């Protein structure tokens, strides 16, 4: 059985994961308006991952006998000054998600909720990967700049795909 405190914290995280998906979809739309279809694809893939994360939390709450309480999602930004700004915000956003996951892990340990600790370990590892992924793209944008060389990076990001982890992962 999940505690009310943990249930509320995970429900808040479900909202945050759906907000993340919404933010990345907004960023994808901005990229498409700028003709950066590969970058838009990368953002859409991130959106898929965020929905997967939200649904994984959703399933966990149900599995532990809790109640999922969906919340209103705030509207994300719709405009950025540059592609660099988009990816800098993405990096900051993922860092904030990492903090939220770490706070959930702290709560699980404080509550001695061993099942939640094990469950959240996947997210801790996932956030390391998420931050590294966006940092790598941001480094490449800074390396090539936003001139003609960006075309090749955009083509690279067009090949990005989301592959859900195997069941039980």
| pTM, two decimal places | 0.94
**Interacting residues of 42 by C-beta distance below 8 A, sequence separation 6+:** 137, 157, 160
CATH superfamily of 4-158: Ferritin, core subunit, four-helix bundle (1.20.1260.10)
- Predicted confidence at residue 135, as pLDDT, reads 98
Alpha-carbon gap, residue 155 to 15, rounded angstroms? 32
The b/e string for 82-100 (b: 16+ C-beta within 10 A; e otherwise) is: ebeebbbbbbebbeebbeb
Quick: pLDDT tens for 108-165. Answer: 999 999 999 999 999 999 999 999 999 999 999 999 998 888 999 999 999 989 888 8
Q: Express each pLDDT in 33-50 by its tens digit.
A: 999 999 999 999 999 999
CB 144 within 8 A of CB 152: yes
Q: Where are the domains of the chain?
A: 4-158
């Amino acid at each position: 059985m999940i505690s009310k405190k943990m249930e509320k914290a995970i429900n808040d995280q479900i909202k945050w994961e759906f907000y993340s998906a919404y933010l990345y979809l907004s960023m994808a739309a901005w990229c498409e308006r700028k003709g950066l279809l590969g970058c838009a694809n990368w953002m859409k893939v991130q959106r898929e991952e965020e929905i997967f994360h939200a649904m994984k939390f959703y399933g966990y709450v149900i599995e532990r006998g809790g109640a999922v309480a969906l919340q209103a999602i705030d509207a994300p930004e719709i405009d950025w000054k540059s592609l660099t700004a988009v990816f800098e915000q993405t990096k900051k956003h993922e860092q904030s998600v990492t903090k939220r996951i770490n706070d959930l892990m702290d709560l699980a340990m404080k509550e001695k909720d061993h099942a939640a600790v094990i469950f959240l370990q996947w997210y801790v590892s996932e956030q390391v990967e998420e931050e590294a992924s966006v940092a790598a793209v941001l480094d490449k944008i800074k390396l090539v700049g936003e001139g003609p060389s960006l075309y090749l990076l955009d083509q690279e990001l067009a090949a990005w795909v989301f592959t859900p982890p195997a069941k039980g992962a």
